[in-house]
Structure 1
Amino acid sequence: MSSSIKAVLKPHTRDIGNLLVRRVLPALAARLVGPFIFFDHMGPATLEPGSGVDVRPHPHIGLATVTYLFDGALMHRDSIGSEQKIVPGDVNWMTAGRGIVHSERTPEESRATGLAMHGIQTWVALPLDHEDTEPSFFHHAADTLPEIERDGVTLRVIAGTAFGATSPVETFSGTLYVAADFAPGGTVALDAGHEERGVYLVEGDLSIDGTPLDPATMAVLVPGETVTLASPGGARVMLLGGERLEGERFIEWNFVASSREKIEAAKAAWTRQEMGHVPGETEWIPLPEKKPR
């Protein structure tokens, strides 16, 4: 393994109904990479006509959810009244802060015809001074994101700063989040401008300073070193990371917080259905039962 790679994270696979998900973060070898505390690779999958994704209303605190699609579509609805369809290349950024409830479903027109689904969902933990901020939601269309071409690589800056460009997506701490599409033979240097960095190979082939990375795995890089990413046959890659957050973060179910007390309070509020409601929806996901030890 290259000396520039600190750890390689392999995913845990789970089924969320019509869709296979590979969960990479949190992991034992790296609970966070920069502010990223959760990383799910959804699909690829083909949803047959009449079927779809139905993630019923559920709560979050202490984080921002970031949805980015390669294929398909999702309809986001939340307890502050947002309703937004997301399609490939767009960014949905929802800040939970002190608490928000949302659902994600296949749009009705896509449910009727069937569609391919493929994308990445991440959670960004909020720094302490924004942990209890007011909830908010912002949508950024694909054509508003910076796109850079370098040596056979197309780099779209989803959030934060990278390769001399800054995304319009508002973040709460130093952030690296880039979708990189490598043509065959494409190469790019990833500099050490961000404190923590991860490289996730969605599909194709990729090497990091000459060390191959398996598809659906994430390499966590050693800080302070520029690395060369190269793809002989072409690849789709996600680059992520940023500033290391101060203090510890706890994660349980859909909640992220700097203390277990905040999580327990959120669990109690959700059980009492006091965290808000998604307009027009009556379903909700109950708090999971604790497994016996």
Structure 2
Amino acid sequence: MSFFPGKDPLPGDVFACDAIEHLIIPRTSDLGGFFVRRALPSSRRRLVGPFIFFDRMGPAVLRPGEALDVRPHPHIGLSTVTYLFDGEIRHMDSLGTEKVIRPGDINLMTAGRGIVHSERTPDNLRGHPLAMSGLQTWLALPDDKEEIDPAFTHTEKSDLPLINDGRATGRVVIGSFEGVTSPVKSFSDTLYVDLQLQPGVKFPFGAGHEERAVYILSGSLIVAGDRFEQDQLLVFRPGDAITLETAEKGCHLMLFGGAALNSKRYIWWNFVSSSKERIEKAKEEWRTGRFDIVPGDEEEFIPLPES
């Protein structure tokens, strides 16, 4: 997904819990009936651990004749993480990869020095109603990994470790949580967990990771007496142990975070780098056609934005 303009919504009433550093209300973009809510980056917070971009896609139903068609576009300096709850997306990239991602699977595409990819509805699903819902996040690469060779890995849902302790069910997508570790590779300390809390439970969220946040996908979440609702992002203060509570209904969350980066990151369109000059170079490379093409998807591309 490409960067879109828009001011951050105001969060509303001040919350009482000292453990919450920021409450972020995502800004929403309507992409022709397909809503995307962008929580990071925002004016209140640029990164949480390595997470520099956090998009909630849908939920929506693509009607017959509608499809997801994100044309080939470039990236540098990051890893994209695609995780679906509904629907399917065909990923193609300049390495020659072609892979359909389905709910619960993980696509991890590491751009490094540069990669081009497209994301489209598979041909066999076009012409039919299709439910679409998921997350796309970007992980900024550490200083010494920003220019590594591009790579792509796909991990099946069945290979992600489960959490099921009576209070919560879910999967560890990246990193380690509750004694289990995901096989998905990360380049720095990273936490990414899909968690369903049962009604009326209390669940600890320890301070083992330097930076931590929660995105509420559905239901309500209570933290130290304050109640938070769907499509809100809570960023917690470092070092504070947190208890996540639910009331009469359960709550579906994504927990995420990790180690803070050692240097500042700049983000422009689809480019992330510790260097403004490197971003300018990438802009010129895309403008002049010096990125690789996507085999099998060479006819279209997203032009470099004018501003």
State the TM-score, normalized to the length of structure 1: 0.97
Deviations 1:16-39 (A, max 9, x none): 344110000001221000000000
Q: Which of 208, 211, 214 is equivalent to 1:199?
A: 214
**Secondary structure of the corresponding residue to residue 112 of structure 1:** coil
The whole-number CA distance in structure 2 between the counterparts of 1:202 and 1:162 is: 19
Structure 2 residue 257 is matched with structure 1 residue 236: no
The whole-number CA distance in structure 2 between the counterparts of 1:236 and 1:285 is: 34
In structure 2, the residue matched to 1:75 is 90
**Secondary structure of the corresponding residue to residue 113 of structure 1:** coil
Structure 2 residue 21 is matched with structure 1 residue 20: no
Q: Which of 254, 259, 263 is equivalent to 2:279?
A: 263
In structure 2, the residue matched to 1:252 is 268
**Secondary structure of the corresponding residue to residue 306 of structure 2:** coil
Q: Which moved more, 1:49-58 or 1:209-218?
A: 209-218
How is 1:59-98 mapped onto 2 (pairs within 5 angstroms)? 59-98=74-113
The whole-number CA distance in structure 1 between the counterparts of 2:107 and 2:201 is: 28
Contact 1:77-1:103 within 8 A present in 2 as well: yes
> Alpha-carbon deviation of 1:146?
0.8
Q: Which moved more, 1:62-71 or 1:152-161?
A: 152-161
What amino acid sits opposite 1:274 in the alignment?
R
Identity %: 52
Deviations 1:114-168 (A, max 9, x none): 2100111000000011000000000000010011113421131101111111110
Q: Which moved more, 1:158-167 or 1:65-74?
A: 158-167
Structure 2 residue 231 is matched with structure 1 residue 189: no
Contact 1:187-1:231 within 8 A present in 2 as well: yes
> Alpha-carbon deviation of 1:271?
0.6
Instruction: State the aligned residue count.
Output: 290
Q: Which runs of 5+ in 1 are unaligned?
A: none
The whole-number CA distance in structure 2 between the counterparts of 1:215 and 1:5 is: 17
In structure 1, the residue matched to 2:45 is 30
What amino acid sits opposite 2:267 in the alignment?
I
What amino acid sits opposite 2:96 in the alignment?
G
The whole-number CA distance in structure 2 between the counterparts of 1:186 and 1:44 is: 26
Structure 2 residue 149 is matched with structure 1 residue 149: no
The whole-number CA distance in structure 2 between the counterparts of 1:88 and 1:219 is: 25
The whole-number CA distance in structure 2 between the counterparts of 1:20 and 1:201 is: 16
- Which of structure 1's runs of 4+ aligned residues deviate more than 3 A? none
State the TM-score, normalized to the length of structure 2: 0.92
Give the superposed CA RMSD: 1.0
The whole-number CA distance in structure 2 between the counterparts of 1:285 and 1:166 is: 37
> Alpha-carbon deviation of 1:214?
2.2
> Alpha-carbon deviation of 1:182?
1.8
The whole-number CA distance in structure 2 between the counterparts of 1:143 and 1:131 is: 30
Contact 1:153-1:187 within 8 A present in 2 as well: no
Structure 2 residue 193 is matched with structure 1 residue 178: yes
